[in-house]
Structure 1
Amino acid sequence: MPVLPSSLTEPLWAQFATLLPNRPEFDPTHPLGCHRRRIPDRVVFDLVLAALVHGSGLERIAVPGCSDRTIRRRLHAWAAAGIGHDVFAQALVAYDTMIGLDLTDVSVDGSITKAVGGGECAGRSPVDRGKGGTKRSVLVDAAGIPLHVEIAGANCHDSPLLAPTLAGLSALGPLPEQVTVHLDAGYDSKNTRALLMELGLQGRIAIKGVKAPIQVGKRWPVERTHAWMNGFGKLRRITERSRAVVQFYTDLAAAITVLRRLVNEARKRYRWPGRPTTRRLR
């Protein structure tokens, strides 16, 4: 059974494949003029998706025709080339073209997950007895579509991550005349208000000491988006030590999240061959 429905994997691969460099089937630098055939990128891509969804180690998802070393080499090469970020950006362009991003109300929040192997994105988690953890700061629109993701150690406070997270708005083209940023009480500070004023954004920040249900505002979409992204095993329990690889997995998960929402919304407005009949794409 595939880890994701074909209505998600096929358009994702179509965009992913356009970003891959052209490589010959055989290595032209081999002294004998021959070598083992290069394993197709599509085979490795499907195995990387399986690792992302299930959170399994690469040695567990390797198949007889593709070893875990091959998957790891290809994964690191794709991560170094920034392909995950480019696919995420293209998914956002597709969603904005067909459905439209609602940028009048955006929200930002962080989520801490386990980082059992340590590494460049790990820090002492304040909510897990000081064990290794990673913080994911996400910017979403009014419908919960992820717009930008920043990763850091779990010991990094939400406030310092706000500026680089909001920087993702600059890549989305013209913004509405008034953009309201919804934040929880963890951002209630003078520095946050000064940053929003500098960026020309309105802020609706929960006040410290007041219970959340009374002042929940429109922060719930970002909480739901974190739940969507925590459905990927590699993001719930990070085992990679390289920042580039962790960012690749995060961007790929965000791209899949955007595509899932795009298909769900488009199926109500458009008709196309192979249109999914189920209302919920897992």
Structure 2
Amino acid sequence: MVERLVPDALWELFQRVVPAAPVRARGGGRRRYGDRQVLAAIVFVATTGCTWRQLPQGFGPSGPTAHRRFTERSRARVWGKLHRLVLDELGSRGALDWSRCATDSVNMRDERGDLTGPNPVDRGKKGSKIHLITERTGLPLSIGISAANTHDSQGLELVRGILPSVRSRRGPRRRRPAKLHEDKGYDYDHLGKWLRLRNIVPRLARRGIESSQELGRHRWTVERTVAWLSGCRRLHSRYQREAEHFLAFAGIAATLICFRRLGD
């Protein structure tokens, strides 16, 4: 099961970003479980949505051990670095299409924790919102989280600010799409100026003039990516108090989505 959840190619990339294991000055202590076993356990929890204590014993590390290692990796920003490595591999193969990108958001219910707020589409119940930008074929390039009452236009500035520079098949690294497709929630003058200053052409449905369905032939890819993210059952509802941990699970889901394309 470890080899199935963490293939050799993903394990090689993970080894490049994972911090070195601590060494005891005087030796001794219990044997430390391998990083590949722990990574498989973390992927299992992320995809199945089970609790850490429900982790099967076949992985080796216990639930508390996997959770402690997950927390350490999240603080070290390992998941974001791993996602960027996978994007670099795809970019070097010419598998990323920057000609048209799309952005969208999805709400998640959460009663506690950081970055939560009243959800205007869920009777004011507390929740968080995931914002993402995808390239033309739907691969997630950047993911961010905010309170559920954060406007989509503000969320776009959030994820656009953390969009990594990705390797290209030819030429320098790239981090700016040629066009960005958006729905009516992003139709604001300041946002359009903000994009044009960065040489990004906004493509959106204007409020009261055009139908948002006309952009469906370009924006359906980001809608499909939202459905792919729901395959990470840990994202169905937010159980983590720390927003950093919830963002880490979203980063793991984005990495797995991109890695599937890498294996095709």
* Structures share fold, TM-score greater than 0.5: yes
Residues 1-282 of structure 1: matches in 2 within 5 Å? 2=1, 5=4, 9-23=7-21, 27-29=24-26, 33-61=27-55, 63=57, 65-116=60-111, 118-169=112-163, 171-172=165-166, 173-175=172-174, 179-209=178-208, 210-264=210-264
| 3-state SS in 1 of match to 2:153 | helix
Alpha-carbon distance change, 150 to 177 in structure 1, aligned in 2, over 3 angstroms = closer
AA partner of residue 10 (structure 2)? L
Alpha-carbon distance change, 178 to 226 in structure 1, aligned in 2, over 3 angstroms = closer
Q: Tell me which moved more, 164-173 or 143-152.
A: 164-173
Which digits, 9 at most, give the CA deviation of each residue in 1:226-256, with x for residues without a partner?
1111110111222111122122211111111
2: distance between equivalents of 1:235 and 1:40?
26
Q: How many correspondences in the alignment?
A: 257
Any conservation in 1 of the 2:83–2:255 contact (CA below 8 Å)?
Answer: yes
Query: Once superposed, what is the RMSD of the aligned Cα atoms?
Result: 2.4
The structural deviation recorded for 1:110 is 0.9
Listed as ranges, the gaps of 5+ residues in structure 1 are 265-282
Any conservation in 2 of the 1:3–1:53 contact (CA below 8 Å)?
Answer: no
1: distance between equivalents of 2:176 and 2:68?
46
Any conservation in 1 of the 2:52–2:67 contact (CA below 8 Å)?
Answer: yes
2: distance between equivalents of 1:170 and 1:242?
23
Any conservation in 2 of the 1:3–1:49 contact (CA below 8 Å)?
Answer: no
Q: Partner of 1:279 in structure 2?
A: none
Any conservation in 2 of the 1:182–1:219 contact (CA below 8 Å)?
Answer: yes
Q: Partner of 2:169 in structure 1?
A: none
Alpha-carbon distance change, 160 to 4 in structure 1, aligned in 2, over 3 angstroms = farther
Q: Partner of 1:269 in structure 2?
A: none
Any conservation in 1 of the 2:164–2:175 contact (CA below 8 Å)?
Answer: no
Alpha-carbon distance change, 231 to 242 in structure 1, aligned in 2, over 3 angstroms = same
| 3-state SS in 2 of match to 1:85 | helix
Listed as ranges, the gaps of 5+ residues in structure 2 are 167-171
2: distance between equivalents of 1:89 and 1:4?
22
The structural deviation recorded for 1:68 is 2.2
2: distance between equivalents of 1:251 and 1:178?
21
AA partner of residue 247 (structure 1)? L
Give the fraction of aligned pairs with identical amino acids, expressed as a percent: 27
Q: Which runs of 4+ in 1 moved over 6 A?
A: none
Alpha-carbon distance change, 201 to 51 in structure 1, aligned in 2, over 3 angstroms = same
2: distance between equivalents of 1:202 and 1:94?
26
Alpha-carbon distance change, 226 to 176 in structure 1, aligned in 2, over 3 angstroms = closer
AA partner of residue 259 (structure 2)? L
Alpha-carbon distance change, 247 to 186 in structure 1, aligned in 2, over 3 angstroms = same
Alpha-carbon distance change, 178 to 59 in structure 1, aligned in 2, over 3 angstroms = closer
Any conservation in 1 of the 2:74–2:244 contact (CA below 8 Å)?
Answer: yes
2: distance between equivalents of 1:177 and 1:16?
26
AA partner of residue 37 (structure 1)? R
Task: Give TM-score scaled by structure 1 length.
Answer: 0.83
| 3-state SS in 1 of match to 2:123 | coil
The structural deviation recorded for 1:125 is 1.8
Any conservation in 2 of the 1:109–1:139 contact (CA below 8 Å)?
Answer: yes
Any conservation in 2 of the 1:182–1:204 contact (CA below 8 Å)?
Answer: yes
Any conservation in 1 of the 2:142–2:164 contact (CA below 8 Å)?
Answer: no
AA partner of residue 17 (structure 2)? L
1: distance between equivalents of 2:199 and 2:212?
26
The structural deviation recorded for 1:100 is 2.8
